[in-house]
Amino acid sequence: MGFSDFVQLVVAGLSSGSIYALVGLGLVLANKGTGILNFAQGELVALGAYIALFYSIVVGLPYWQVFILTLLTTAIIGGIMERALLRPLLGAPHFTVVVATLAIGLIIKNALRISWQEAVSTFSSPLDHLMLQIGGININPQYAWITGCSLAIMGMLALFFRKNLVGKAMQAVAQNTSAAQLMGIRVSRIFTLTLAVSTALAALAGILMTPVVGVSAEMSNVILKGFVAAILGGFNSLFGCLIGGLILGLLEIFGGVYFGGLFKDITAFVLLMFILLVRPHGIFGTAEARRV
C-alpha cells in the first residue's frame, strides 16, 4: 500500500467515524439531558435525509438552504416528539420508555418506506464531481467536508456547553434534575431543547451521508455504529464519543482492506464486546459510584 492510498483510506475512515460520532453524540445528549435512551435515533437520521431530499427535489431549493431548513425542521420535530410522545412517559418504567422509542422508530421507518417506495435517491451537493488534490494525493472532498463539518459542529457544541447559559442549564439538568429545578431552571424546556438538538444532530448525519450512500430507509441502521461509538468513548463523555466514532471508522476501513469486507461488517460488534469486557464504562467514561 502506497502513501497516497494510506492517506485516502484515513480520510475515508475519518469521514465514516465522524458520522458514527454524530449519531452517538445525539444518543448521549438525549440520555444525559432527559434520561431517555432514544432507539429511534437511527430513524431520525433517515428522516433528516428524506426531509433534505424533499426540500431539494420537490421544493427545488439550493444545497445550503436545504442544509439549514432541514436542521431547523428536524429540531422542531424533535421538540414536538418530546412534548407529545415522550414526556407523558417520563414517569413510566425505563423499559417502557425504551419500547416507546423503538415504536416511534418503526413508525418513522415504515412511513418513509411507504411514501418513497423504498427507492434509493440522492440530491446534488456543491462538492459533486470535484476532486481535492494535496501534494499529488487525490482526496474526495465530500469525505473532507463530512469530517470538517462534524468536527466544527462538535466544537460549537463544546463552546455552547461551556460558555452559554442555556448550555450550562442543560448540563445542570443532566447532572441533577431536582437540584436544577431548585435553582429555577425550567427543566421541561430543557428536555424539549435537548431532544430538539439531538434530533438535529441525527438529521445532520443524514444530510452528510446522502452524497456517499444515497437516501434510503435503511440509513437507520447507522444507529448500531452510533451506539458502539458512544459506548467506546464512554456514554457520559461527549469528547469520548467523538474519539470512539473516529476509532471505529478507521478500524472498519483498514480492517476491510486487510481482512476483507466481512471483517468491516463485524468490526463494530467485535469492538463493542471487547470494550464491554475490558472497560465497560468506555475509554473516557467514568464508573458510577453506587451506595449499597
> Average pLDDT of 160-184?
81
* Cα gap 32→235, rounded to integer Å: 9
> Average pLDDT of 157-171?
84
Lowest mean pLDDT among 53-67, 85-99, 124-138, 239-253: 124-138
Q: State yes or no: pLDDT of 280 exceeds 50.
A: yes
* Cα gap 85→165, rounded to integer Å: 27
Q: State yes or no: pLDDT of 288 exceeds 70.
A: no
pLDDT of the residue at 291: 45
* Cα gap 197→153, rounded to integer Å: 11
pLDDT of the residue at 68: 94
Lowest mean pLDDT among 36-40, 134-138, 155-159, 229-233: 134-138
Higher per-residue pLDDT: 97 or 258? 97
Q: State yes or no: pLDDT of 285 exceeds 70.
A: no
pLDDT of the residue at 292: 44
pLDDT of the residue at 37: 86
Looking at 1.10.287, 3.30.450, 1.10.3470, 1.10.3720, the CATH number of the domain 3-278 comes to 1.10.3470
Q: Mapped to the 3 state alphabet, what secondary structure does the chain carry?
A: CCHHHHHHHHHHHHHHHHHHHHHHHHHHHHHHHHCCCCCCHHHHHHHHHHHHHHHHHHCCCCHHHHHHHHHHHHHHHHHHHHHHHHHHHCCCCHHHHHHHHHHHHHHHHHHHHHHHCCCCECCCCCCCCCCEEECCEEECHHHHHHHHHHHHHHHHHHHHHHHCHHHHHHHHHHHCHHHHHHCCCCHHHHHHHHHHHHHHHHHHHHHHHHHHHCECHHHHHHHHHHHHHHHHHCCCCHHHHHHHHHHHHHHHHHHHHHHCHHHHHHHHHHHHHHHHHHCCCCCCCCCCCCCC
> Average pLDDT of 238-250?
88
Higher per-residue pLDDT: 184 or 44? 44
Higher per-residue pLDDT: 65 or 258? 65
* Cα gap 268→289, rounded to integer Å: 28
Higher per-residue pLDDT: 107 or 7? 107
Instruction: Give tens-digit pLDDT for 116-157.
Output: 766 667 777 777 777 777 766 777 888 888 899 888 988 888
β-pair partners for 187: none
Q: How far is CA 228 from the centre of its chain?
A: 11
Q: Which three cell numbers stand for residue 273?
A: 464486546
Q: What is the mean pLDDT of the chain?
A: 85
Higher per-residue pLDDT: 140 or 48? 48
Lowest mean pLDDT among 86-90, 129-133, 176-180: 129-133
* Cα gap 11→5, rounded to integer Å: 10
> Average pLDDT of 26-46?
88
